Amino acid sequence: MTPAGSPSTVPQSEILAVPAARGACPFDPPPAYAQARDRAAITPIRLWDGSTTWMLTRHADVRAVLADRRFSADAGRPGFPFVSAGRRTLATTNASFIRMDDPEHARLRKMLTGDFIVKRAEALRPRIRAIAQDLLAAMTAGRDHADLVTEFALPLPSLVICLLLGVPYEDHAYFQQRSGILLSNAASAAEIQTARAELTRYIKRLAEDKRDRDEDDIISRLNRQGTLSADEIAAMSLLLLVAGHETTANMTSLSILALLQNPDQLARLRADPALIRGAVEELLRYLTIVHTGVARVATEDVDLDGRRIRAGEGVLLMINAANRDDRAFPEPDALDVERDARRHLAFGFGVHQCLGQPLARVELQVALEVLLSGLPGLRLAVPVEDVPFRHDMLVYGVHTLPIAW
């Protein structure tokens, strides 16, 4: 039994700085997380501002803590860990319900869950497929190469979330550029504050314009709800807008790159497109683009594997390391499109588990299906070493993906 202690009692020189750097394989989480996972259930770490907190890396522990009501998602609580200055700014000013606990969190989340049920996402499939086919046609017309990110992976989920929210897609340059700043771990607190303020103003004006119209989109319905303030509507809409396109866009591009780098797996998918549904789960597990951890703070003392996490201490839950835990997934570092990967934690776990996951699944399944069937000669147009990976962003992926066919 290790003495209780706290992460701040560990000598600074021995303490792992997080986020740690990735190793040779751009798809693998930082090797330091794997070493930590092998060594102990719980690891003291140091963050950008010199503060210390705990890191969890094992699948069973990460899953259990995400489902444990004794850990709070409220970033306003002392001890809540932030992986960058920007994260702190973002999470502590007009935060949406992802940074709240129940019952407040449940009250707000329930106003949106109906829009993202499995059946509704399935009903959107033909429309999503038509959008994907149009994008593919535009991308390939008279050309043999393109950047997959800007011409397909980003516009597909952007068009879909704009449709659902009632945001005019013509404004995409405005909100995509600012969303990019919000999700940058390299951006300063001031830059993030400005981007957030501009996006909030944009959404508030849009919501205000919709008040007099009888439209059937999410923002209009939040308006009609009657109990929400303009700030609450803006925070919820902004969450959906940002989360709705950045995540799926990066999963799409990174999935294509991972398949191109694993030609045997790509060949299996091409030979049997029925494998795509399961492959999407495996790609979510293998790539886990939320790569800098999910933060919580303990609201009471919790004992974990012989160590005590005290009330007011933070934990960073490394879902990317948990999804490569061989206690949960045999040969976890291999991409295997035929494995049952459904227990992955890429969408989180507990009451905060991703609200939009049914939609994300359909978008990813359609994107793979349309790209693989439409581009039989798909290949990377540059050496993989030249692909710019998003090390600096909250959501991992690639900044651009030059492809040819």
Partner 1 sequence: MNAVTLRVTADRTKCCGAGMCALNAPDVFDQDPDEGLVVLLDPKPPHELHRAVHDAVGLCPSSAISVEEG
From 148, 161, 158, 169, select the one nearest 370 (Cα to Cα): 148
Instruction: Please say which residue, 152 or 347, places its beta carbon nearer to partner 1.
Output: 347
Instruction: Please say which residue, 206 or 240, places its beta carbon nearer to partner 1.
Output: 240
Give the footprint of partner 1 on residues 94-113 (CB under 8 A).
Answer: 106, 109-110, 113
Residue 274 binds partner 1, judged by CB under 8 A: no
Residue 39 binds partner 1, judged by CB under 8 A: no
Q: How far is the CB of 111 from partner 1 (least distance, A)?
A: 8
5: region left, alpha or beta (phi > 0 left; psi from -120 to 50 alpha): left
Stretch binding partner 1 (CB under 8 A), from 91-99, 114-122, 169-177, 251-259 = 114-122
Q: Exactly one of 157, 352, 365, 370 binds partner 1 (CB under 8 A); which one?
A: 352
Q: How far is the CB of 110 from partner 1 (least distance, A)?
A: 5
**Cα 331 to Cα 299: distance, rounded to the nearest angstrom:** 36
**Cα 30 to Cα 23: distance, rounded to the nearest angstrom:** 6
Sheet holding 52-56, edge to edge: 16-17, 42-46, 52-56, 314-317, 294-298, 71-72
What b-and-e string marks burial along 66-82, b requiring 16 or more CB atoms within 10 Å of the CB?
Answer: beeeebbbbbebebbbb
Residue 119 binds partner 1, judged by CB under 8 A: yes
Residue 343 binds partner 1, judged by CB under 8 A: yes
Residue 349 binds partner 1, judged by CB under 8 A: yes
Stretch binding partner 1 (CB under 8 A), from 86-94, 192-200, 286-294, 341-349 = 341-349
**Cα 398 to Cα 405: distance, rounded to the nearest angstrom:** 19
Q: Exactly one of 236, 276, 341, 355 binds partner 1 (CB under 8 A); which one?
A: 355
Long-range contacts of 118-121 (CB under 8 A, 24+ apart): 118/358, 120/358, 121/358, 121/359, 121/361, 121/362
Q: Give the tokens for residue 391.
A: 């090390």
**Cα 294 to Cα 99: distance, rounded to the nearest angstrom:** 11
From 238, 349, 292, select the one nearest 87 (Cα to Cα): 292
Stretch binding partner 1 (CB under 8 A), from 118-126, 143-151, 165-173, 237-245 = 118-126
Q: Exactly one of 342, 373, 379, 388 binds partner 1 (CB under 8 A); which one?
A: 342
Instruction: Please say which residue, 178 or 296, places its beta carbon nearer to partner 1.
Output: 296
Instruction: Please say which residue, 39 or 119, places its beta carbon nearer to partner 1.
Output: 119
Omega into 155 within 30° of 0, i.e. cis? no
Are 158 and 169 contacting, i.e. CB atoms less than 8 angstroms apart?
yes
Stretch binding partner 1 (CB under 8 A), from 197-205, 252-260, 344-352, 390-398 = 344-352
Stretch binding partner 1 (CB under 8 A), from 151-159, 315-323, 350-358, 377-385 = 350-358
Q: How many CB atoms are located within 10 Å of the residue 173 CB? A: 8
Stretch binding partner 1 (CB under 8 A), from 136-144, 260-268, 328-336, 349-357 = 349-357
**Cα 241 to Cα 96: distance, rounded to the nearest angstrom:** 12
**Cα 51 to Cα 82: distance, rounded to the nearest angstrom:** 9
Instruction: Please say which residue, 120 or 204, places its beta carbon nearer to partner 1.
Output: 120
Instruction: Please say which residue, 69 or 205, places its beta carbon nearer to partner 1.
Output: 69
β-sheet bridge partners, residue 308: 303
Instruction: Please say which residue, 114 or 306, places its beta carbon nearer to partner 1.
Output: 114
Give the footprint of partner 1 on residues 54-93 (CB under 8 A).
Answer: 66-67
**Cα 212 to Cα 221: distance, rounded to the nearest angstrom:** 12
Residue 128 binds partner 1, judged by CB under 8 A: no
Number of residues interacting with partner 1: please give it, by CB under 8 A.
27
Q: What's the Cα-to-Cα distance from 157 to each of 30, 91, 151, 247, 278, rounded to whole Å?
A: 28, 24, 12, 9, 20
Instruction: Please say which residue, 147 or 281, places its beta carbon nearer to partner 1.
Output: 281
Q: How far is the CB of 209 from partner 1 (least distance, A)?
A: 26
Q: Exactly one of 10, 16, 95, 351 binds partner 1 (CB under 8 A); which one?
A: 351
Residue 350 binds partner 1, judged by CB under 8 A: yes
Residue 273 binds partner 1, judged by CB under 8 A: no
Residue 357 binds partner 1, judged by CB under 8 A: yes
The site for partner 1 (CB under 8 A) is made up of 66-67, 106, 109-110, 113-120, 342-343, 347-355, 357-358, 361
